[in-house]
Amino acid sequence: MRSFLFVPGDDERKIAKGLASAADALILDLEDAVAPARKAAARELCAATLAAGARMKLFVRINALDTGATLLDLAAVVKARPFGVMLPKCRNGDDVRLVSHYLAALEARDGVPAGEIRILPIVTETGGSMFGLGSYDTPPIPRLYGMLWGGEDLAADLGAISNRDDDGRYAAPYLLARSLCLFASAASSAVAVDAVYTNFRDAAGLRKESIEALRSGFSAKAAIHPDQIAVINEAFTPSAADVEAARRVIAAFDALPGAGVVSVDGKMLDRPHYRTAQRVLARAST
């Protein structure tokens, strides 16, 4: 999956637009996008949307563990079998393990196959969460699908005026958060998802940030508007030339199974290049 589109969980019109978009995954939001008085209605609408099915994968962003609403959200949507739930304000791996226990109980209650529902935490939304990024892989969490880093809530928690500099690039604390999320995802064999680009009218800026994320190792990017999806999908889809180059690398290694180094197009390549080529082909097939 390359693109994850957030839509308010209580807005039928925006949900319909999201379902009609080219996003690979839709995130039905029960957290920030829904006013407290609308939470109950949003849970019902999200459950109905899940039950109706969709072309893309459907996630539900539940409310954080410290809100008292987490179990209410999960109890409302598990029976409709979302592909996954997104956990905001996640402090560490133990938060994910706790939600995993909740899901196991609710899956048993609702006749959902055990372990079917995945978890995608947002892992950098508070200053304290930065110190928990090494806790997701020991012990491993089978439900852990990926990790999303977030810069907006983190900026608010830190008391920052802005999380970007005058050139529009992330300031140092947020580049650190982004990098640590990428490292934690790799350590946990989880999908690394880049944060939203909030200026949805700036397609050029979004394209640049998406390409930078891809080059760094992210596999996907979150979005807040359907107009962002085409740019994100294009950035994270390998070109025909990329695919052909990857096939040549794999063919060279496959022809010499015991070799640690091969020559391709005049370059000496070793095993890390083989792994990179495999990832390119995997992205091309999604």
pLDDT value at 286 more than 70: no
> Residue 20 — very low, low, confident or very high, per pLDDT cuts 50/70/90?
very high
pLDDT at 8: 98
**Could you give the angle at which helices 172-187 and 203-216 cross, rounded to 10 degrees?**
50
Q: Per residue in 189-219, pLDDT tens?
A: 999 999 999 999 999 999 999 999 999 999 9
Domains, in order of start, for the chain: 3-236 (3.20.20.60), 240-284 (no CATH)
pLDDT at 74: 98
Q: Per residue in 119-167, pLDDT tens?
A: 999 999 999 999 999 999 999 999 999 999 999 999 999 999 999 999 9
Residues 6+ apart with CB under 8 A from 155: 162, 163, 174
Stretch 168-187: mean pLDDT: 97
Q: How far apart are CA 35 and CA 21, in angstroms?
A: 25
On the question of a cis peptide bond just before residue 139, with omega within 30 degrees of 0, the verdict is yes
Q: Per residue in 61-119, pLDDT tens?
A: 999 999 999 999 999 999 999 999 999 999 999 999 999 999 999 999 999 999 999 99
pLDDT value at 222 more than 90: yes
DSSP 144: B
Stretch 231-244: mean pLDDT: 91
Token digits of residue 190: 């989880």
Q: What pTM does this model have?
A: 0.91
